[in-house]
Structure 1
Amino acid sequence: MHEPVNFPLAAVVGADALKLALCLAAVDPAIGGVLIEGPRGMAKSTLARGVAELLEAGQLVTLPLGATEERIVGTLDLDAALGEGRARFAPGLLARAHGGVLYVDEVNLLADHLVDLLLDVAASGVNHVERDGISHRHAARFVLIGTMNPEEGELRPQLLDRFGLAVSLGGTPLPAERTEIVRRRLDFDRDPETFRARWQAAQDALQARCRQARKSLEAIPLDDAALEAIAARCYAAGIDGLRGDLVWLRAARAHAAWRGAAAIAPEDIDTVQDFVLRHRHPHGPAAAPPPQSNDSAAAPQNDAGGQSGERDPGEGQWGELPAQPVAIGERRAPPRWPKKP
C-alpha cells in the first residue's frame, strides 16, 4: 500500500505570514507552538502536513477531539510494575509525535486541562506520567499546531498566552490568487505524483533551509540588546507576565537563523512582533510600530518556489510582514449614581 502523497508546502499559494510562523516553529520547537485562527477551508491541515516534512522525523500526529488524557499521555501498567519491579509504559499520542508535528484541530473545543497539558509538554519537551507513586518520563519534542474558529468559542486568555505564536487567517483572496489556488489543487488531485515531482526541487530547498537554520540556531546569541528592545515593546503593549518576552526573543533568533544571519537584528524583532502580540493583547494598546527600513535582508533570497527573481502567482516574500492594525478596546464612562433626594 502506497503512502499518501502530501501537497508540498512550497506549492501553497499565499498565506505567507502563516508559512513563516510555522517554519520558525519548526526551526525552534521551544517557541511553544502556533495557534491558527480562521474559518474552515483555509488549508490549515495542508500546511500542518507540509511543516511535518521539514522536520527530521517527518510524521504528523492528529489529536482527535474525543481523546482521553490516557490516550494523549500514555498509560502505566501497575500490575506489571508490581510483578516485574518496573513500570511498563504504553506510549500515547505525545510519544508518537516526538520529532514531528502534533496537530490539534478546533483546539478551542478541547477540555481546558488537556490544552494545558499539551502546552506544558510542547514547552518543556518532556512528558511525565505518574500513577499511584509510579512514574515514567520520555522525550516529547514536537511542533504543536492548533487551529480554532473564533465563532465556535474562544480559548481562555491563560491558555492563549501559552501558545508561542498566533496567526489569524482572514480576508478574502484576490481573484488572481483564488484562481491560482484552485488551479494548483486541481493539478494535484489529477496527478499527485507528477505535481509533487514538479515542486520537488523547491521543496528540497525549503527542507535544506530549515535544516540549516536549526543547525545554526544555538550559535546565535540571545543578546542583551535584543532582550532590552523586546522588553520595552512588551511593556508598551501592556503584556502581562514574561512569557511574551521569552517567546519573542526565541522567535527573533529563529528568524535570524532562517535568513542565515549570525545575530539577531532589529528586522528580526520587527518581523515576528505580530505573531507574538496578536493573541496577548486583543483589546489593549499595541506596541510601538516597528521602524521602517529599506533593508531587505529580512526577506529570504528565494521565493517559495526556490527561483531567484522569478515568482509564481500568489507567492510572496516569507520574511516580510505588513503592519497590522490592532483594535483599541472601547473605553466606557464610569456609571453615574443617582443623586440623593
Structure 2
Amino acid sequence: MQPYIRPTYPFSALVGQPRLKQALVLNAVNPRIGGVLIRGEKGTAKSTAVRALAHLLPLITVVADCPYSCPPDQLDRMCGSCRGRLQAGEDLPLQQRTTRLVELPVSASEDRLVGSLDLEHALVEGQRRFEPGLLAQVNRGLLYVDEVNLLDDHLVDILLDAAAMGINTVEREGISISHPARFILVGTMNPEEGELRPQLLDRFGLVVEIGGLKNVRERVDVIQRRMEYDADPEQFVQRWSSNEHHLTEEIAAAKKLLPQVQISEQDMAAVAMLSLELGVDGHRADLAILETARTHAALEGRTTISLEDIRVAAQLALPHRMRRQPFAEVRLDEQQLSDVLNKAAQERQRGNEETAGRDELKKA
C-alpha cells in the first residue's frame, strides 16, 4: 500500500511576498535569467514557494528512453546519443510528463551532483559507462538548493557554471563526457547562518530579500489558509485550482511570446546608465537586467521593453551587485533609480524626435 502524499501547497495561495513570487515566475518563463537566490529568515515560506512553483510549470515532451529528458524537436539541445539516433533516421520514442523538481541536499558529493564514470566497466569491457547525476535528472527541470550558503563552494561553482553554460562535463582518468544541463536554479538561504562569497552571489541572476509579514491582516490570512490546508489538503488545493491554471497559462503564453521581444539600443543604453550611476562592477548586472526586462515584457503581453520593465528588473538584479562595505547591508535607492530612469526616458524621447526629424527630411 502506497503511503499518503499530501498535495503541494498552491503557489497562488501564498500570502504577500510579491517580489519573491515575481522572481520565481520570471525564471520559470526564462531560465536564461540565471536563477534566483532567496534570502530570508526561517519560516518565511521560501521552500513552500519553490515547491509550489514546480506545479505551475507546463508539461514537457521528452525522448522516453533518454536519461537527460532531451527535447525531440530541438537538435541543438539534444545529447549526443539522441542526436545520432535522430540523424540516422530512427523514430525516437516520445513521452509527455511534468517538469521535474530535483532537490540537492547540502551533504551531496560531487559525483552525486555531476555523475560518475564506471572505471571498472571501462577497463574490463573497454566501454565507457556513465552513471548520471542530479544534473542529468534536472535537465529541462527545476533544481532547488536549500541552504545554498552551507553547500561547499566548489559544488556551488559547478552548479552555477552548468546553469550558465547549459552543459555538464565530467572528466575522469582521461575520459570526458558531456550532456545538456539546462535548468531553473533556485537557491534559498538564511543569512544568519552565513553568507555566500560575493563572487558566487554575483552569479545568481536575481536575489530576493524576504522577511516575516508585518501586516496583521496578512498574518491572519497565513494562519487561516495554513489551517484550512492542514485540515483538508485536497479540498484546499481544489479551491485554488482555477488560480493555478490561470498562472500556468500565463507562464506558457509568456514563454511562447519571449522570442519575439526585442531589445533596442535605447534599452541597452538605459541599463548601462543604471549600472554606471549606481556603481555596479562588471557586466553581469547589465545582461541580467535586460534578460529580466524582456521576460517581464513577455509576461505583460508586449514585444517591446518599457522603462517600467527595466525598473522591475533592476530591483531584482542590482542590489546584491552594488559596492558595499564589509558587513554592510545594501539597499537600492529607489529615488536614485527613478532619477536615472527619468534621465533615460528624456534621452529616449530626444532620440525618437531626432529620428522622426530625419525621416521627415528624407520624405521632403
Q: TM-score range by the shorter chain?
A: 0.7 to 0.9
Select the residue among 13, 19, 23 that pairs with 1:17: 19
Q: Which moved more, 1:102-111 or 1:75-84?
A: 75-84
Select the residue among 194, 207, 210 that pairs with 1:169: 210
Q: CA deviation at 1:91?
A: 1.2
Instruction: Tell me what 1:224 maps to.
Output: 265
What letter is aligned with 2:105? P
What are the equivalent positions in structure 2 for 1:20-35 lying under 5 Å apart? 20-35=22-37
What are the equivalent positions in structure 2 for 1:103-182 lying under 5 Å apart? 103-182=144-223
**In the aligned structure 2, how far is the partner of 1:60 from the partner of 1:285?**
32
Q: Deviations over 1:26-46 (max 9, x none)?
A: 111111110111111011111
Stretches of structure 1 that go unaligned for 5 or more consecutive residues are 294-341
Q: CA deviation at 1:282?
A: 5.6
**In the aligned structure 1, how far is the partner of 2:195 from the partner of 2:223?**
31
- C-alpha root-mean-square deviation of aligned residues, in Å? 1.9
- Per the alignment, in what secondary structure is the counterpart of residue 138 of structure 1? strand
Highest CA radius of gyration, 1 or 2?
2
1:270 and 2:318 matched: no
- Per the alignment, in what secondary structure is the counterpart of residue 173 of structure 1? coil
Q: CA deviation at 1:78?
A: 2.1
Does the 8 Å contact 1:9/1:203 carry over to 2?
A: yes
Instruction: Tell me what 2:141 maps to.
Output: 100
Q: CA deviation at 1:82?
A: 3.8
Q: CA deviation at 1:54?
A: 2.5
What letter is aligned with 1:103? Y
Instruction: Tell me what 2:337 maps to.
Output: 289
**In the aligned structure 2, how far is the partner of 1:214 from the partner of 1:224?**
23
**In the aligned structure 1, how far is the partner of 2:215 from the partner of 2:298?**
32
What letter is aligned with 1:225? Q
Q: CA deviation at 1:134?
A: 1.0
Stretches of structure 2 that go unaligned for 5 or more consecutive residues are 59-97, 325-329, 342-364
Instruction: Tell me what 1:245 maps to.
Output: 286
Instruction: Tell me what 1:258 maps to.
Output: 299
**In the aligned structure 1, how far is the partner of 2:123 from the partner of 2:55?**
42
Q: CA deviation at 1:151?
A: 1.4
Q: CA deviation at 1:223?
A: 2.1
**In the aligned structure 2, how far is the partner of 1:160 from the partner of 1:282?**
13
Q: Deviations over 1:34-75 (max 9, x none)?
A: 011111101111110111122234322111111111000111
Q: CA deviation at 1:291?
A: 5.9
Q: CA deviation at 1:98?
A: 1.8
Q: Deviations over 1:1-30 (max 9, x none)?
A: 355300110111111111000000111111
**In the aligned structure 2, how far is the partner of 1:169 from the partner of 1:227?**
29
Does the 8 Å contact 1:210/1:258 carry over to 2?
A: yes
**In the aligned structure 1, how far is the partner of 2:161 from the partner of 2:254?**
25
Instruction: Tell me what 1:303 maps to.
Output: none
Does the 8 Å contact 2:44/2:211 carry over to 1?
A: no
Aligned residues: 293
- Per the alignment, in what secondary structure is the counterpart of residue 143 of structure 1? strand
Does the 8 Å contact 2:116/2:132 carry over to 1?
A: yes
**In the aligned structure 2, how far is the partner of 1:214 from the partner of 1:40?**
32
Residue 241 to residue 115, structure 1, CA distance change in 2 (3 Å)? same
Q: CA deviation at 1:81?
A: 3.0
Q: Deviations over 1:157-206 (max 9, x none)?
A: 10000000000012543111000011011111111111111110110010
Does the 8 Å contact 1:30/1:124 carry over to 2?
A: no
Instruction: Tell me what 2:255 maps to.
Output: 214
Does the 8 Å contact 1:31/1:123 carry over to 2?
A: no
- Structure number with higher helix proportion: 2
Select the residue among 45, 55, 65 that pairs with 2:57: 55
